[in-house]
Structures are given as structure tokens and as C-alpha cells.
A and B are shown apart, each in its own frame.
Chain A
């Protein structure tokens, strides 16, 4: 079996009542047959190999959770084919549940009032985990995170971070080939996020678990995903690895230069003058190329350069010949800005149509 998850032209439609406004409208709705069809997922296809960590991204309401729910078998696709572990997920959901783990960032599958270890013991029995596997898994967990001290703590007394950590461990407990993580780092602090990313990475490596991860945090993506799939308004926009994603929008890099010793002391007008000066120098030499100029709050001049047009070093050399440069900084375009650009472009494309 080459792929653990296969989606082929998957559509999901929801039928919703066209609601009317106001009190009168509410009464009308009681007898209304006026339905509209909403396409939550539109012609999505992808194949996922065992052991991959796939970041499944998209703005709010893009259809991410709907796709995940179809892959887990809770929802049935309107059209198209889904195979998970070679089986149709919704056909025998209860049996297939044995082979997947799920974490939904906003809910917990743990027993709220009981100590964590009791939830683990329950999962051990309902997933029919052997004593040895269970013990090995706990030993692995204890080597990765400080979970031992949480065993006896009732879940309701846990912080959100501890609870999410526990939920992730619970999802991996029966060693499923696939784990779905729906916004696992939502609402967590920086150090907890890092802890959880390391944990997911370690479990993926140790058990070769396939992980499908949805998130709005690009830190998660940078830390975990080799491959990302972007979806918006139900339609797939991108499916490839992160390196390609960056080049997808040209090889952009940002050059920051300091033209005065203490540029932060300049007034806004003086900053503008410095920037205009730099702009003139650059444009003079590379008239046919495109740049984006801006000045930072600290008075640095920022030049966004598309390296497929002109090398950054060439630009820098040219500037240095003309004026004194006190300091230089380079910035890679961040995943975050690329993703934002993709979302915005999709939005603009929609408007243009």
C-alpha cells in the first residue's frame, strides 16, 4: 500500500435553510422549504504517504475540519472517493476507529472529572491495547515529556496546555497508523507550543505515524510539516512542500540597510528622504527590475527583492559603492507572509471573477 490516505475528487455539500430576518422571518422559516446548497469542500484530491506530516491549512471556514471529519468517517462525502488505510472510512466507522487517533484542539476526549491515568486505562481497554504495548508507550511518553506528575491529576484541574498535551498522548496511545490533529496548539503559550511540536515530531519519528495537522500557527508548520496543503472556500490552492511554497511566489528576500549611524533618531520626513535616496540609487542601476521599498520603524531601509530577477548581493554592492552603509540585515520571506499572500490572492481572484 503506497498511500495511507487517498482522496479523489471529494465534494461535500450541506443543505441549509435560507433564513429570513427578524421575528416575522423566523415564523416564515418554520414552514420554509427554501434550501440552499453550500459547498464546503469542492473537488479535493490528495494522496498521503505513510509517515508524512502534512500541514492542512486554510483560513477560517475554508473546509479543513469538514475534510478531516470525512477522513475520520464521521461525515460522508457527497461525491468522490476517500480511502483511509485502504478502507472507506464512513462504511465501518467503529472498526476503522481502531486505526486512527484524533485530537480536536477545542474539545477533550478525556474523562473530565477523573485523574488522567484512568482515561488512559479506559482507552487501553476499549482499544484493546496489550499490557506490554501500553507499558512501552507510557515509557516512551515519560521519556519525551513530564507526564508522570499529571497521571494523578483530574483533567478538569489541568491547564489548557496540560490538557492538550494529555489529549495528544491519548490519541497516540493505541499506536494508530494515522493521527488527525485539528488545531492542537490553539490558545497555548509559546513554551507549551514548542513542547507540543517536539512531542508530535518525536512520536511521528518513533512510530512512523502519519500526521494530518490543521493549524493557523505558521510556527507549527515551520517546525513540523514537510508538506502543506492549502485550501480555501473548499477548493485546493496548493499541495507541495514548504521550499516550493516559498518559490511559488518568486524567490523573495528582504534586504535591510542602515544608512545613518542612528537612524532611529531621524524624523519621519528624514527617513523618507533616506529611503528616496536609496530608491533612486537602486532604480538607476536596475531600471527594468521590480522592487518594493519601505522604511522600518527603526529607520532602516527595506528592499524586497525577487532573486529570480536580480541577485540580492548585486543590489547591495551597487548601493555600497554609492553611499555609506552602516549595517546590513537579510530576511527570508516567512512562511506566514507567503501563506497570507496565498489567502489574499485567492480572495482577490474571487473578487475579480
Chain B
């Protein structure tokens, strides 16, 4: 059974994550430093305008959105492209390819455990702290369940994009530039660094045609605008994500299948 391998891989990757407690801790500190920077940045932005709200978002709205976005980043970003390019360059990929589990699944579930752990270790505490400080800013209800679904789907979209970019490594043998570009594009167009509300009208419309906003903006909307969303709207948003997941995984699979032929395993 495939599912048995999935569970086994997830289990091992959770244990693997636990081995590196210190790295989780460092990640948390890095995140705090990032938050201090954006806090001051946005404070300056809001101080420079007369209105208390910009594009319908108050300083508090923006901060909460960005805090949650950065917490989501810590559990969603698995640095898959780095991993793939490293194993292609070193030639280690040959061992992963010779597992009776398709490579993409082997990677996905081999990272899954890390995602789950980071979710528990960084996202949940951040969420609770935000709830306490803002005295219940985030509505708790069906929207939180929708968030969990949307975050999972967002993670799959992120994975599919990463897998696609990682596959390019088979041709280039190096992906430093491509990966940096991908990270900038994804983080910006997904609304992870700047809320999409701040984008100019036309850009925002264009962004909606791409899958990126479904990674960060969609899940976070369930948290920040929870009660305003009707059930129908929620289902449409999640449905759109699911459609992206299917499309992107399909594209990734086809691209991988075509690219497999160019594999030249390095070394020995």
C-alpha cells in the first residue's frame, strides 16, 4: 500500500526534525528579528500618511496579517529546490530514484514531517500569542477549519511549484539564480511579504490569475477576514486552490516525466 509508505516517510521526517531542536529554535529567533524589522517598517509607512487605514487595512490588520504570514512561511517553506539541486549535483538522487515510491511522493512525504513539526512549534504558538495580545482578533470558528484545509492545499501548491523549479536543475545542474527568482516571485505575488490589498488594482487583478496568491493570501484570508466570508465564498476559495493543486501537480508530473531522460547521474 502506498499510504503505508507515506505514513512511514512522514514518521521518519518528524523524527528527523526532532533531531535538530536547535535549528527550530534558531528559526524562531530569525523569525522574531524579521518581525521586528517589518514592525518598524510598517510603522514608518503608517506614520507617513494621515489616514489610520491604507487600502482598508489598519496598522493592526497589516501587522497581524504579516505576523501570521511569516509564521506560515516557517512551516510551509521546505527549501525543496535547494534539496533537489543538491542531490542532483552530488548524484545522491540515484538512490532516491531507486525507491519503490515515485520521486515526487518520496520528496513530499519526506518533507511533510518537517512541515507538521514547524506548524506545531512555530505557527501554533504565534497564533496563540496574537490571539492573546489582540484579545481575540482572529475569529475562531468554521473559518479556522477552512484555514487548515487552505494551508494544506497552499502547501501542496508551493510544493508543486518547487518541484517544477527543482526539475529544471536536471537541465542546468545549478539553480541558484532560478531559485532566488522563484522565491522572490512567489513570496511577493503570494502576498507573503506585502498584503495583496496594497497592490495596485491592475496588478492585483493579474495576480489573481496566477496560483501564487493561493499559497499565502487565501489561507490567511480565512484567519483575518473569517466572519465576513460566507460559506459559499469559502468553498469557492478552497475549490480554486484544489484546482490549482491538480493542475500544477499534473504539469509537474509531465515535466518530470519528460526530463527524466536527461538525467546524468554525477559522480562515481
**Interface positions of A (Cβ within 8 A of B):** 14, 65, 69, 72-76, 93-95, 97-98, 100, 102, 104-109, 111, 113-114, 118-119, 121-122, 124-128, 154, 182-183
Contacts and interface: CB of A to CB of B under 8 A. Distances in A.
A196 B147 CA distance: 53
23 contacts: A72-B98, A74-B97, A74-B263, A74-B265, A93-B97, A94-B99, A97-B98, A97-B99, A107-B91, A107-B94, A113-B19, A114-B15, A114-B16, A121-B8, A122-B11, A125-B8, A126-B4, A126-B5, A126-B8, A128-B5, A154-B19, A182-B268, A183-B268
Interface string B1-45: 100110111011001100110000000000000000000000000
Nearest to B8: A125
B251 to A, nearest CB: 20
A111 B12 contact: yes
B60 interface: no
Contacts of A107: 90-92, 94-95, 268
Q: Is the interface of A mostly helix, strand, loop or mixed?
A: mixed
B58 to A, nearest CB: 45
Contacts, number: 83
Contacts of B200: none
A121 B90 CA distance: 26
Contacts of B102: 94
Interface string B245-268: 000000000000000010111011
Contact of B98 (A100, A106, A108, A121): A100
A134 to B, nearest CB: 13
A128 B12 contact: no
A109 B95 contact: yes
Nearest to A60: B268
B101 interface: yes
Contacts of B12: 111, 114, 118-119, 121-122
Interface of B: 1, 4-5, 7-9, 11-12, 15-16, 19-20, 90-92, 94-95, 97-102, 261, 263-265, 267-268
Contacts of A114: 12, 15-16, 19
A172 B94 CA distance: 17
Contacts of B7: 125
Contact of B4 (A113, A125, A183): A125
Contacts of B8: 121-122, 124-126
Contact of A74 (B19, B94, B268): B94
B261 A97 contact: no
Given A126-B8, A128-B4, A182-B268, A102 B100 contact: no
Contacts of B15: 114, 118
Given A93-B98, A102-B98, A118-B12, 20 more contacts: A65-B268, A69-B265, A74-B98, A75-B264, A76-B261, A93-B97, A94-B101, A98-B100, A104-B268, A107-B92, A107-B94, A107-B95, A111-B16, A114-B15, A114-B19, A122-B11, A122-B12, A126-B99, A128-B100, A182-B268
A113 B20 contact: yes
Contacts of B16: 111, 113-114
Contacts of A104: 94-95, 268
Contacts of B20: 113
B37 to A, nearest CB: 32
Contacts of A118: 12, 15
Contacts of A73: 98
Contact of B9 (A102, A122, A128): A122
A90 B20 CA distance: 37
A108 B90 CA distance: 12
Contacts of A125: 4-5, 7-8
A100 B102 CA distance: 15
Question: Which 8 pairs across A and B sit closest by C-beta, in order of nearness?
Answer: A125-B8, A126-B5, A113-B19, A97-B100, A109-B95, A98-B100, A122-B12, A97-B98
A253 B5 CA distance: 56
Contacts of A127: 100
Nearest to B7: A125
Contacts of A75: 263-265
Nearest to B92: A107
A152 to B, nearest CB: 13
A94 B106 CA distance: 11
A113 B16 CA distance: 6
